């Protein structure tokens, strides 16, 4: 059994998608990051970085329970555990490269682009421009790579596509315009292909009935941006 520590946001969404695609049995533990539940000692024991997603695999290596945190680590762990969505072994260098490109580039710059558009104080035009342009640049790298390709790695659907989907699903918010993907037709095609999969609809339904906090008030800001409150 996998326990998925989940909040409805881009990085946890990738893992929910994998779990729905793979058919692995799992249960969801909601972590309301706007209420500060990511800082609870019990959750910090699973993810010392205090962010979602994280998992506990009750049957990890050697039959012992194992924690895994950080969406890319979780995707790789589960793909290796199940032997699914890793692509051809000959493409492993490509898979690792694109997974880490998303983990260290597309994802963080997208997150900061959202932060500076929606959460940062006014008057930070340089920072806003920097993160928006860098998010766009990462979209462009991926879009160029996808010219003439159906998937990010090799000929089939892999965890790299799932990982990209998690963030590209928020393209309008990241790039600050409703038709954000219009400038990236190859990425748009990949996004729409992944988005049409039945597992995506199931992943979107994960913890749908949980009353996650939606307002970003002072409590939420202190919970999500603790380094702003030294
Ligand atoms: N590198 C991490 C980033 C995790 C992350 O930033 N998670 C966000 C949700 S997408 C979160 O939990 N934010 C709440 C917080 O930072 O307190 C991963 O890929 O899992």
Over the stretch 34-44, which tens digit does the pLDDT of each residue have? 999 999 999 99
In this structure, what DSSP letter does residue 103 have?
A: I
Q: Closest ligand 1 atom to the C-alpha of 107?
A: 19
Spacing, Cα 148 to ligand 1 middle (Å): 32
Q: Phi/psi of residue 68, each to 5°?
A: -140, 130
> Given the CA of residue 69, which atom of ligand 1 is nearest to it?
20
Can you say whether the dihedral through the CA atoms of 99, 62, 13, 73 is positive or negative?
Answer: negative
Give the residue whose CA is nearest to atom 1 of ligand 1. 70
**Partner residues linked to 57 by β-bridges:** 2, 66
Rounded to whole angstroms, the Cα distance separating 36 from 220 reads 7
Residue bearing the CA closest to ligand 1, atom 5: 51
Q: What is the pLDDT of residue 61?
A: 97
Whether pLDDT at 152 is above 90: yes
Q: How confident is the model at residue 151, as a pLDDT?
A: 98
The pair phi, psi for residue 150, each rounded to 5°, is -85, -30
Distance between CA 121 and CA 127 in Å, rounded?
11
CA of 199 to the centre of ligand 1 (A): 22
pLDDT recorded at residue 230 = 87
Taking residue 112's Cβ as centre, other Cβ atoms within 10 Å add up to 19
pLDDT digits over 181-229, tens only? 999 999 999 999 999 999 999 999 999 999 999 999 999 999 999 999 9
Q: What is the pTM of this model?
A: 0.98
Q: Is the pLDDT of residue 170 over 90?
A: yes
The alpha carbon of 149 and the centre of ligand 1 are apart by a number of angstroms equal to 29
Closest atom of ligand 1 to 12 CA is: 10
Tell me the pLDDT band of 179, cut-offs 50, 70 and 90: very high
140 falls in which pLDDT band (50, 70, 90)?
A: very high
Is residue 208 classed exposed, middle or buried when 0-12, 13-18 and 19+ CB atoms within 10 A define those classes?
exposed
Name the closest-CA residue to atom 11, ligand 1. 51
Q: Which residues line ligand 1 (CB under 6 A)?
A: 7, 9-11, 33, 38, 51-53, 70-72, 103, 107, 224
- Mutation test residue for ligand 1: of 10, 35, 51, 75, the one with most atoms within 8 Å of CB: 51
Name the helix (H) or strand (E) containing 73: helix 71-82
Under 8 Å between Cβ of 4 and 16: yes
Q: Which atom of ligand 1 is nearest to the CA of 53?
A: 20
Dist. CA 35 → ligand 1 center (Å): 14
Q: Which string of DSSP letters, residue by residue, matches 120-167?
A: SPSS-HHHHHHHHHHHHHHHHHHHHHTTT-SSSSTTS--HHHHHHHHH
Minimal-distance CA residue to ligand 1 atom 16: 224
d(CA 207, CA 98): 29
Residue 11 alpha carbon to ligand 1 centre in Å: 6
User: Distance of CA 102 to CAs 10, 16, 139, 142, 161, Å?
Assistant: 12, 17, 10, 9, 10
């Amino acid at each position: 059994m996998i326990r998925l520590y989940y909040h409805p946001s881009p990085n946890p969404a990738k893992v929910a998608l994998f779990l729905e695609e793979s058919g692995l049995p799992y249960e969801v533990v909601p972590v309301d990051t706007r209420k500060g539940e990511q800082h609870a000692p019990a959750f910090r024991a699973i993810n010392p970085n205090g962010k979602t997603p994280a998992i506990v695999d009750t049957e990890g290596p050697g039959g012992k329970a194992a924690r895994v945190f950080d969406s890319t680590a979780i995707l790789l762990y589960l793909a290796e555990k199940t032997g699914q969505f890793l692509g051809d072994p000959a493409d492993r260098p490509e898979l690792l490269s694109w997974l880490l490109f998303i983990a260290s580039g597309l994802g963080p710059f997208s997150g900061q682009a959202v932060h500076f558009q929606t959460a940062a104080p006014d008057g930070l035009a340089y920072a806003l421009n920097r993160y928006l342009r860098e998010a766009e640049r990462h979209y462009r790298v991926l879009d160029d790579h996808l010219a003439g390709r159906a998937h990010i790695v090799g000929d089939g659907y892999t965890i790299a596509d799932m990982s990209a989907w998690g963030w590209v699903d928020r393209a309008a918010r990241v790039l600050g315009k409703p038709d954000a993907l219009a400038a990236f037709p190859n990425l748009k095609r990949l996004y729409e292909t992944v988005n049409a999969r039945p597992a995506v609809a199931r992943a979107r339904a994960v913890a749908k009935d949980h009353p996650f906090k939606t307002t970003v008030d002072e409590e939420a800001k202190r919970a999500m941006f603790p380094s702003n409150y030294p």
